[in-house]
Amino acid sequence: MKNILILLTTLFLYISCLSQNKSGLVIYEIKYPNKNINAKIVESRLFFNDTLSIGISYSTKFYTQKNVGIKQEGDGLGMTFKYGDEKGEIIHRNFNTEKITLRFPKSAALDEYTVDDTWLKIQWEIKEDTFTIGNFKCKKAIGDFRGRTYIAWFTEEIPLPYGPFKLYGLPGLILQAEDTEKMFSVYMKSIEYPTSQEFEVDEPIEKDKKTIIEYAYVKDHIEDLLLEKLNSKLPRGIFFAKNPDEKDTKRTYRIEKKYEWEN
């Protein structure tokens, strides 16, 4: 009788541990808006548990950049700069505090920095359509976020409101999504749920901390900031000039086309 009680207790504790282990890992392939139709696909990893979702891309732990340097492009020269570090580009969501923090690696224009983003709720409209992705039965949802309309496929088999990029808030994990302009797309490459892989859960911190308004300004003027930094390192009389025709005033090739404070 004693042995049976010990066995039942052990079994109960084992089942309890399994039920509490809700950590998971999804590897996505993401195509961001880019005027270069041959732009590469970016691999992004989403780690999550009961209260956090942490999206990571451009981490040298699993990302290797190629073709860095200067190359001939038509009548001019094109430059590809190194981007990425061990921490990578991060989208850190804390669902307990409803706080979203972004982190960006050092680039040719800027040092590492974080952004206090705004926790915006996406008003999703769930449809009757279903679709199977891998072994998961998914439902369709449509929602708007910062100037783009997204079609997302989520599975209630993993009833957590997480997803790639800044897409979230559905009654199940988002496995696939695309905007209606077909400028952005994301597909699940693989999934581990539960996962035994450990990941950093702390909110990212850097010396340079920007507001979301400052971040939007940086994204709108990134070419100007880059040229300013490059020209500061050149001898007097030699400088890079910007092409006035390349200004994307409508943010056509930006993932976020319109912010909540803009009319």
pLDDT digits (tens, 9 = 90+) for 82-102: 788 999 999 999 999 999 999
Q: Provide the pLDDT for residue 2.
A: 47
pLDDT tens sequence across 205-263? 999 999 999 999 999 998 888 777 666 666 666 655 666 656 667 899 999 999 999 97
Q: What is the pLDDT of residue 224?
A: 82
The tens digit of pLDDT for each residue in 108-158 reads 889 999 999 999 999 999 999 999 999 999 999 999 999 999 999 999 999
pLDDT reported for residue 233? 65
Confidence of residue 6 (pLDDT cuts 50, 70, 90): very low
**Sorting pLDDT into bands at 50, 70 and 90, what band is 26?**
very high
Mean pLDDT, residues 5-33 taken together? 64
Q: What's residue 234's pLDDT?
A: 65
Q: Which two tokens stand for residue 15?
A: 């089942």
pTM score, two decimals?
0.85
Confidence of residue 13 (pLDDT cuts 50, 70, 90): very low
- φ, ψ dihedrals at 194, nearest 5°: -75, 170
Task: Give residue 194's pLDDT.
Answer: 94
